[in-house]
Amino acid sequence: MNYKQGAMFGLDARIALAIFGALSVISGAALYSAIQKAKVTSLITEMNELGKAVDSYQLDTGVLPPFDIAAHNHMDAMELLNSSVYNWNGPYISGEQYGTTGTEVLNLKHSTYNYIGIRRMETASWGNLTIKNCTSASTPCALYIIIVEVPKSMADAIDQRIDGTLDDSNGKVRLYPAGTGWSVWMQYRPYSYQ
């Protein structure tokens, strides 16, 4: 009789272990999903905060931060940290310069990915991953916030969250290959070319 009780206890223990194992897999997947959603929300918030910094700069000074003369579409994000423009009341965002040469100096270092910056781009389809600079007042344009070298899965999650679909070349979010990851371009607000 003792053997049967022991055998039954062993079977009960195995069933309980199987149940706990299944529950841990389910809860682990749910936790991973929650962490990914939080990361997506955090990146979208960072992009919106940079856009709000541009808005505040413009409200105080009456102008947007300048665009690079050579690259044309790169806004100088460093103007949000330090500027001699009349009525400048910043800094409007915290951060530090990304690079030391070329258009790199117009961007801010990103704590996790490569850099974050602001561009003026056309709102028409970017078909076949062709970035379309804003070059004419007759073309609908927008200010885009860009974060560079984001993993494709994270970039897709941002696109899905904002646009409700995955489409690299259309919508408010555009995705473009960059280095070891992807650039996420989020349309912040309309822009009139000047």
Mean pLDDT of 23-47: 82
For residue 71, the model assigns a pLDDT of 67
For residue 80, the model assigns a pLDDT of 94
Range of the domain at 8: 2-191
How does pLDDT run across 178-189, given as a tens digit for each residue? 888 999 999 999
Per-residue b or e along 26-53, where b marks 16 or more CB atoms closer than 10 Å to that residue's CB: eeeeeeeeeeeeebbeebbebbeebbeb
Our separate counts of H helices and E strands in the chain read: 2, 5
- Whether the per-residue pLDDT at 43 is higher than 90: the answer is yes
Q: 147 vs 6, 69, 151, 154, CA distance in Å?
A: 61, 22, 11, 11
- Report the Cα 5 to chain-centroid distance in Å: 59
Mean pLDDT of 130-139: 82
| Beta carbons of 111 and 100 less than 8 angstroms apart | no
Number of domains in the chain: 1
Q: With cut-offs at 50, 70 and 90, classify the pLDDT of residue 175.
A: very high
